Structures are given as structure tokens and as C-alpha cells.
Structure 1
């Protein structure tokens, strides 16, 4: 797993989870089970680095966090024995994996260093080429001609005209050679041509009688009649046609440059054709990265929403360890939830649901929407029987991936109660998200949020207040929570609706 700097840092991936005595001890047991479940999946996928990280997290949780809980001594002895047995197995597997993991990490770090150096060299080279091209474009063309100072020596061209033009037009669309030759100040043949005198068949006739009477210009309000050339004037027609052709060529060249720079040129021909086009069915669209418009909560001025975006995966599919794994949600899930919540929404009552899913190839997929028994008001919602939720997750072997709830009378934001509620979900799994549905918000109908780490998580962990209340700013000066833009809306993902009400 890659740290923010790009290189793999195992120590940063297995940080200790601080204990919070407000959370029941059974929640920490469930966290341990979820970590072991992820380890089993990574072991089956032969992902030794993520497996190593999960075992480290489990070891720290069982040996440091759980024994620090105030209810640990009063817990069942069978649970303690079970955890100690799992801890010994994890420690033994860590020792076995350590040589292979260290070798893999060193290999990936060397590869990352090599790729970074290559990208830097390429960037410097491209920057130099761009600078040279700009310098060539600014310099007058006469500076390309060298004169040695002797009268007997002639001017010599240091670079051919094609080379000069190539450097001057690195980012521009190159015109046709015909167009370039027509408008070159050196003539159609460029530097290699010879000067041609004017043709003798073209004669210039001057008027014999010069009229010195002043010229009367027509009024601006009167229309000016343009006299078209007749067909008999063959030479003048050819001259005007040549001029018109040149003008059209220049216009096409300028339009092509503008089209190339501002917008892509159209490649579709609108010629009429009697043939019937072949209809090709396109495959299903891929998952789309969800883009959520930022919105500052009205009741929390100190909160500004940023991005909790994951880094681009490397060639081995490893991403930043501090960032969560990808989370995929079905495109129709939020719409289905709003249909289930319609009766409460019409009465200005909140509705909540639980998100659960699976893990495959380092991606979480929301495959179940659980609607638990709940008590609702116009600005709060609370589940009443969490054991039913845990039973469903255990029977289907699902991970807790967050929750979703409505704001029927408010805007799209995370209230102080929402932050405390989501804190327990994010303790269970760092990838958990909170989805807020606000049908009456004109600027944004929904938002997907996550507490910042460690800023927002530390503030909520130390906060002992209840109900609606303001929170202090995190020590790092950042926001309490972020709008997640690493969530993918997957049109091919199916999910089950489990209504426990």
C-alpha cells in the first residue's frame, strides 16, 4: 500500500486504533472479525502486502486497543481465549510473510523511484522543447541567417525552413505546404527558389488625361452598388479567383487553428447517402467516478468540504495506504431508498438505512441496503434493534460500509448528531461513508461524506456532548468531514433491499 509520497510505508498503514469507552466492547470484537475477514480475502487473492497490513492491524487491535477498554476485564473468558489464539496465528503468519513482503516492497519502491525520475526527466525535456519552440517563434526569421563578415562570403541558412517551421509550430496545426508556399515572403519555392521578373504579357496602362476635379464620395446612407466583372475580362477573373482562393485558404487555416485549440474538430461528414448504417450495440458503461458539488454546511461555518480522493493506482494495483479503498454503489440505490422513505419524507420525518457489501480486488461493493427498525423525528433518526442488522451482515458475510439517511426539511450537510453517528461506522471500517439525501435542497440533492483522519475523528472521539452542538476546529486546521469523490456509481452493480421494519 502506497503512502502519500508514493513509496510503501508499512508503519503508516498499521497505526494503533485509540480506544473509545463510549463504544461498546462488542463493537471492537466486530472490528477484529472484519479485519480477519479482509485478511482472508487478500490471502485468497495472493495480495501479500495488504494481507500483511491487515495482520498488523489485527495484532495492534487485539494486543493494545481491546485490553485498554474498561469492559475488557468483565468480558467473557472464551472471547479472550479466542482472540489470543487468533493473535498467535497472526504473529506467526507475519513472521513467515515478512521476507517476501520486504522484498516486494523494495522492488515496488525501486520501480516507483525509477518511474518518478523518468517522469521528471521527461517533464524537464518537454519544458525545454516548449521553451525552445517559443524562443524560435519570437525570434525573427532573419536571425536564422548567418553572415561571416566577408564580402566574398554569402549568407548561409543554418537550418532549413522546414526545421524552423517545425520548431515554431509545436502546439499549432501545421498548414498545407501549398498554403505555406503561397503566402511565404520568399516566394513559392522558399529559400531554394530563384527570383523571377514580372511577366511581360501583363501591361499597365496609365490614363492619358488626368482629371483633377475633386472626387465626390457617396453618402453613407445611400447603398453602394458593386459592379461584378464580366465574363469577357478573362485575365481579371483569373486574378480575382487567385486572390479569393488565397483568402479562403487563409480563412480555413485560421479556422483549423481555432478548432484545434478551442474544441475538437468535427469528423462527421453530412453528405447524403442511401446506404443504411450498421447498428452496433455498445457494451455496458463502466463505473463512473462520482462528482459531488461542494457545499458548506449552513450551521457549521468552520467546516469546508474538500476531497477525500484516492491516488491513482500503480501498475500493481496498490494505492495510498492512508486513503480508503474504492467504494462502488449502484446507480439506482439512492433512488430506491428515496422510494422506501417517501411516506416518512411526506410527513417531514427522517429515514435511515444501513449499507453493507463485499470486498473483491481491493474494491468494496455495496450489495445490500438494510432498512432497520427506527425512531424518527424531523431532524433525527435512530435505529432501535442493531442486533438484527448484525445478524443479516453475519449470515450474508457482509462488511458494514456506512449508512444513508434523509434530510426532509434541511439542506445537504452533516449535523453534529450525524457526525457522532458516522463516527461509530468509520471506527468499524475506515471506508464507511455517510450519504445524506436532501430532496428540498435546490443546490444539491445528495452528498457522500466521511470524517477526516485524524482531524475529524479525533475531535469527535474527544467530544462528550450530545444533541445539536458546535464542534471545535481540528488541530490541523482542516475540516471535520469531507465530501467523498472516490465513490464510483456502478451501473452494473446489483443490490438487495432488506426491510426489517
Structure 2
């Protein structure tokens, strides 16, 4: 399969990953509660990449989280307001655990980078097969921690069906692990607390502390943030002294293939797929060499050797021709046992891992992971929206899913409680929606879908401002617009970056429909963008509306 695999050979150094982690734009126009939700998303993604043993990407996400909570967020003008205090405190409490995890990942990243540099210290500039300089994609890949140095990366477009199989297999594995946790007596609430390190727990109770308790909390928060700042400014070699002093029982370094406290089993890195060896072994098993004909028996002394008479001719044998029976058909396209693609065949190996490379890039050059979208998702969602559509009311749903092998799979549409008009759709009772999302293992909000009952398929000013919050949390986030009475009847969009994200964040104009100065403010995300429809991808729709 041409182009199905590619190796971005050189791994990244800690210094390069750290620079990548700190390269994001922090804006005061975004309220702290959205930045805290972004932080939780970073932790969830990091947990997935760590479990898949993608150490570089896990380290980058954890470093970005540390930078956000310890460096950026305290500069926000509303950082110390009472409604933000409990959320900030809960986030700061996670810094010690986050940095301990980074210290576990760092030696593995250093070892891989140093081994590569020692092996290739005399190598020349990377070249393509034709001898030219490395391609633009390869240059981008070399600066993407999710793919740089990985053994084999896959192209999403050419391997969409393989992606579906990988997703279903991994989702089943996670479900089995979750059932095992339940059987061990761990409640759903306790699981959520352990998984998210308590980031969103006890917000209300945190607001009712007495003065002395608040002062102690402030001191602890200050020490943790100062330690984090020194950690990021230093050489990344040790846990900061302020953090070490507060660690009563620091977490031991987990064994990569073992189990530690509430960690799912990890999977060993795969070896490069060797097409030649695989096909040679298959050809040997399919077409074994023909045995030599037996030698005629030796002539006994005094006897005349009489050869056996030739076999009777086969009914289909033509005169003068030697009949050769047809060999059994080789496994292939028209066989009951088709030849399996080597990459797909390796899925049966429990140690095999896969990494999908980015399928598109933002306007600023940052990679966009592939989003796999079920093709029937929008038509199923329109069935739930039908009653509103008949009354000329918009309906919205949230797109939820997870990261698997550096690709994003949309698994669910969650329809929250909402207030609807002909031009707007506003989610109400946000806490119920986020409680549901938090109860789903590794689930993330990946965008939204909404209807335009009588309008065309486009992004209104209100839509753009709504979507900006999603795209800040996850750059790949998408907005699906369904206009069932128009042509085109649907579209998948994202804000450009730049100039769309910057324009919307800076916009303070009121009203549902208002103009923006930039014309290139949003763009299509469906192919040739980063969104691919994947036949057979399973999904569900969950309706949280009380009257549903």
C-alpha cells in the first residue's frame, strides 16, 4: 500500500519538546474556567499517550499543562476571583503528580534521543528516496512529538478501515479494563477522582473555608507554582526542592509493562513492519517446493527391469499433451482466505502499536490529528432534532470521543439541556453535561453539531464565537452544521489559525449576526482537511434533555 507507512526517524530532545509545549497563545479574553477545562483535557490526552507509550507526546502535554497552570493562569486578571478559586486550587494540587510523571518519562526520552544521535552523529541531511532534501511533511513531522522518532506511522486516508478496527479493538479493551475495575470494588466516582486527580471535585466546598485554612492553601499553591516555574526554567533533571519537600509518598516509577496504582496495562512498542520478510514467509507456506520424483527401483540380479505402465489418460487430456492437474488456488482476492495486509495482520500481535500521522496542518504550520467521523452520525442526529426542525428551532449536540494511536475518533453525540430559538441554541445546566462526560473513560469534547432549520449551511457570528472555545481546548475541534432544507445540506468547519482564531478572540461586538474584519475566518475541515468519514465506525447518541 503505497504511502501507508512513513518513518519520522529522529526522536526529539527534552529541550525541543519543552519549547513545543510552551508554544501556545494564552489570552485573557478567555475566562479561567475555560482554561481550567483545557487543562483537564491536556491531562486526559497525556494519560492516553502515556498508556500507549508515546512518551514524547505525553511529556509535551504534561509540560504544557504545567506551564498553563503555574505560569499563564496566574497572570489572568480574574484569576483570584472567588468563582475561580476552588478550581485553581484543585488544578495546582495536581502539579506534584504531573511533575513526578514527567520525571519518569524523561530518562526514556533522553535514552532514545541519545542513542539515535550517537548512532547518526556522522549522518548527512535526511533525503527522500529520489535523493532530494527531506519533504515538507518530513520537516513538519520532525517537530511533532506525537510522530517524531516513532517506528512506523500510517496514513489516515489509505488506512481508514484499519483505523476503525484499531479503534473498536482498543475501545473493547478499555471497556474490559473498566469492568475489571468495577469488579474490584472501585466505584465510578472514585475512579473519576483518581483518573482526573480531583481536578473538578469539591468546587463548592472549597468556597466555604475559614481564613486560616485559606491562608494555608494560598501558601501551598504558591509553593507548588514556584516549584513548577523553577522546574520549567531549569535543566529538567530533578524534581524541584519545594515539590520534593511536600511529597510524603512520591509515586514510584512504574514498570512499563507492569501495573501500578490504578494504571491500565501498557503495550510494548512495535517493531518495524518488514514487508519483504512477511511476504516471503507467506509465499513459502503457500507454495512449498515440489518433491523430486522417486528414483526407479534398482534392478535385481538376473531380472529384467520392467517400468510401471503409464497412467491412463485423463478424460480432459488432449492427444500429445501431458496432463498437469491444476494446482489449488492461491489465497487472494477471489479466495475464501484472502491475503491479509501485513499491517492489519500484525494487529493480532498484542505488542503491536500504531501511530497515525497528521493529515493536515493549521495555517501556522501546527499539525492537526486526523478525526474519524461516522458517516451516518448527522442523519441520526437529525432524527433527534426533527421535532425542533419542524418548529423552526435549532438543535445542538456535543461531539465526544477519544484519542487512539494519535487519531481522534468521534464515538458519541451528547444532546444537553438547551434553550432553542430559530437562530440560536444555548446549552443550559452545563454541570450535568460535564458530569456525564467526566464519567466516561478518556472521553473528550471534540466540537459540536447543530441545525439551521431554514438557513443555509454556514457559520454565523454566534457560531464562530461558540466554536472558538472548543478549538482553544483542542485545536482539531470541529463544528458540523446541518441545513436539511438547503444545498449543501451539511458541512464540517474549523476556524483558521491565523487569522480566524485571533479575530474571534479579539471581537467584542454584540449581537447574533455581526460582521468580522477578516474574510478568511473559517474553512472546511472535511477532506482534504483533517476530518475523514470512516465506514463502520460505531457511535451512540445520548439525549440529556429532560423531555426526551
Q: CA deviation at 1:418?
A: 0.6
Q: 1:279 to 1:402 in 2, by over 3 A?
A: same
1:369 and 1:497 in contact (8 A); partners too? yes
Match of 2:444 in 1: 399
> 2: distance between equivalents of 1:63 and 1:410?
45
**Which one of the candidate residues 440, 455, 471 is aligned to 2:499?**
455
Match of 1:441 in 2: 486
The reply on whether 1:481 has 2:488 as its aligned counterpart is no
Larger Rg: 1
Q: CA deviation at 1:92?
A: 4.1
The reply on whether 1:88 has 2:96 as its aligned counterpart is yes
**Which one of the candidate residues 14, 26, 29 is aligned to 1:18?**
26
**Which one of the candidate residues 126, 131, 138 is aligned to 1:121?**
131
Match of 1:332 in 2: 376
Q: CA deviation at 1:278?
A: 7.4
Match of 1:370 in 2: 414
Q: CA deviation at 1:365?
A: 1.4
Question: How do residues 185-196 of structure 1 correspond to structure 2 at under 5 angstroms?
Answer: none
Q: CA deviation at 1:366?
A: 1.3
Match of 1:48 in 2: 55
Where do 5+ consecutive residues of structure 1 fail to align?
Answer: 125-276, 285-314
> 1: distance between equivalents of 2:86 and 2:56?
31
Q: CA deviation at 1:68?
A: 2.4
Q: CA deviation at 1:433?
A: 0.5
Q: CA deviation at 1:99?
A: 4.8
CA shift digits 1:22-48 (9 cap, x unpaired): 53x332222211111111111111101
Q: CA deviation at 1:123?
A: 9.6
Q: 1:471 to 1:7 in 2, by over 3 A?
A: farther
> 2: distance between equivalents of 1:410 and 1:108?
56
The reply on whether 1:500 has 2:544 as its aligned counterpart is yes
> 2: distance between equivalents of 1:108 and 1:384?
52
> Does 356-365 or 46-55 show the bigger shift?
356-365
Q: Secondary structure at the match of 1:390?
A: helix
Q: CA deviation at 1:281?
A: 9.8
Question: How do residues 144-163 of structure 1 correspond to structure 2 at under 5 angstroms?
Answer: none
> 1: distance between equivalents of 2:56 and 2:454?
46
Q: Secondary structure at the match of 2:458?
A: coil
Q: 1:283 to 1:72 in 2, by over 3 A?
A: farther
> 2: distance between equivalents of 1:377 and 1:94?
47
Match of 1:69 in 2: 76
1:20 and 1:461 in contact (8 A); partners too? no
Q: CA deviation at 1:74?
A: 2.7
> 2: distance between equivalents of 1:64 and 1:431?
24
Q: 1:88 to 1:347 in 2, by over 3 A?
A: same
Q: 1:77 to 1:463 in 2, by over 3 A?
A: closer
Q: Secondary structure at the match of 2:97?
A: helix
> 1: distance between equivalents of 2:374 and 2:339?
17
The Cα RMSD (Å) is 3.7
Q: 1:446 to 1:115 in 2, by over 3 A?
A: farther
Q: 1:438 to 1:77 in 2, by over 3 A?
A: closer
Q: Secondary structure at the match of 1:117?
A: coil
Question: How many matched pairs?
Answer: 312
Q: Secondary structure at the match of 2:27?
A: coil
Q: CA deviation at 1:425?
A: 1.1
The reply on whether 1:424 has 2:469 as its aligned counterpart is yes
Q: 1:108 to 1:385 in 2, by over 3 A?
A: farther
Q: CA deviation at 1:84?
A: 2.7
2:126 and 2:133 in contact (8 A); partners too? no
Match of 1:31 in 2: 38
Match of 2:187 in 1: none
Where do 5+ consecutive residues of structure 2 fail to align?
Answer: 1-5, 135-332, 341-353
> 1: distance between equivalents of 2:125 and 2:491?
36
**Which one of the candidate residues 316, 327, 351 is aligned to 2:395?**
351
Q: CA deviation at 1:394?
A: 0.8
Q: Secondary structure at the match of 2:368?
A: coil
